Amino acid sequence: MTRSKLLAYLQIVRLPALFTAMADIFLGYLIVHRSFTSVLDFVLLLLASGGLYLSGMVFNDVFDRRIDAQERPGRPIPSGRVPLTNAIGLGGLLMAGGVGAASVVGPSSLTVALMIVAAIFAYDWLLKATPLGPIAMGSCRSLNVILGASTAPSLWSGHHIGIALALGVYIVGVTWFARSEANAGRRSKFQAITGMLLVNTGVMLLISFVLSTKNLGNPLSVLMLFAVILLVINRRLAVAIFDPVGPKIGLAIKTMLLSLPLIDAALVLFITQRVEYSLAVAALIIPALLLARRIAVT
């Protein structure tokens, strides 16, 4: 495979964003176990999440191929660099691998993986252009955190559910904000501001969890991390809202997505009180940033 062909396949899976999905698995697993009690299960959940996330990116391009041919002809499928049959095959293989890895972990993990598959197709195929599209995307993120926690004795109760829902709200905001790039005028500004409010609501729900939860870590250091993250995100959002041109909107979206490993790392620090675990999650931003120089995150 030539270098240009490899780059096309890395573009269709949007590889930099993979590391944000991996951070969610760290978070979900450590919420319920506080340490790596089963390295095998953890690695399988990482593989499951990675396969499902990358497949969702591929099928996004498969279902968008006609729109991309008009608006983004340089994308891998309309440009011909990735044939449609190859894209479908790759997406199917990644999805099957993700579901298969989850099934090895156990029935609860398999159930969540299948829910993620349903959410992927609901977004990519049916809901993307509707008002429910951002909610479908947010549900993918929430379920990914729950997948990380799927070896818990009680899967549908516990801290991981509230945290997963808060991160889902955050992604709803990111997705809604991203729509402002395709619109103009008052509608665009309204969507951008609404997206900004939803993103901040998601983070504030996480801060509320930190403040209201006893017998875990020291909230002060975690709150300071959240303050820095909010400052960086809102600065990018404000710039994009006041000057809504494509590159500035794109940079704001990229900042919000690549901030997820840092958000997850702050929560891991609070829950486990293990600095090394938090640093391991935060370090996922390094390959994401390096790859994002050549490959688009969205």
**Separation between Cα atoms, residue 280 and residue 135, nearest integer Å:** 29
Q: Are 295 and 258 in contact (CB under 8 A)?
A: no
3-state SS assignment for residue 218: coil
Query: In a 10 Å sphere around its CB, with 0-12 CB exposed, 13-18 middle and 19+ buried, how is residue 228 labelled?
Result: exposed
Q: What is the pLDDT of residue 1?
A: 67
Q: Could you list the residue range(s) of the whole structural domain that residue 75 is in?
A: 3-292
pLDDT of 185 over the 80 cut: no
Q: What angle do CA 259, 158, 284 make, to 5 degrees?
A: 25
When divided into structural domains, the chain yields a total of: 1
pTM greater than the 0.85 cutoff: yes
Across the chain, which distance is largest between two alpha carbons, in Å?
56
Which structure tokens are listed for 167?
A: 């991160």
pLDDT band at 247 (very low <50, low <70, confident <90, very high): confident
Q: What is the pLDDT of residue 2?
A: 83
Q: What is the pLDDT of residue 214?
A: 81
pLDDT band at 186 (very low <50, low <70, confident <90, very high): low
CA dihedral 282, 197, 216, 138 (to 10 degrees): -70
Q: What is the pLDDT of residues 20-59, one digit of tens each?
A: 999 999 999 999 999 999 999 999 999 999 999 999 999 9
Q: Which residue has the higher pLDDT, 190 or 269?
A: 269
Residue 49 resides in a domain: yes
Residue 104 resides in a domain: yes
pLDDT of 181 over the 70 cut: no
Mean pLDDT over all residues of the chain?
94
- Cβ atoms within 10 Å, residue 37: 11
**Separation between Cα atoms, residue 171 and residue 227, nearest integer Å:** 18
Q: What is the pLDDT of residue 218?
A: 79
DSSP state of 127: I
Residue 297 resides in a domain: no
Q: Are 143 and 119 in contact (CB under 8 A)?
A: yes
Q: What is the pLDDT of residue 4?
A: 85
Residue 298 resides in a domain: no
Length of the chain, in residues: 298
Residue 263 resides in a domain: yes
- In this prediction, what percent of the chain has a pLDDT beyond 90? 84
**Separation between Cα atoms, residue 149 and residue 259, nearest integer Å:** 21
Query: In a 10 Å sphere around its CB, with 0-12 CB exposed, 13-18 middle and 19+ buried, how is residue 66 labelled?
Result: exposed
Residue 267 resides in a domain: yes
Please, what sign has the CA dihedral across residues 49, 54, 58, 63?
A: positive
Q: What is the pLDDT of residue 187?
A: 61
Q: What is the pLDDT of residue 128?
A: 93
Rounded mean pLDDT, 213-235: 91
Query: In a 10 Å sphere around its CB, with 0-12 CB exposed, 13-18 middle and 19+ buried, how is residue 229 labelled?
Result: buried
Residue 277 resides in a domain: yes
CATH code of 223's domain: 1.10.357.140
pLDDT of 179 over the 70 cut: yes
Residue 153 resides in a domain: yes
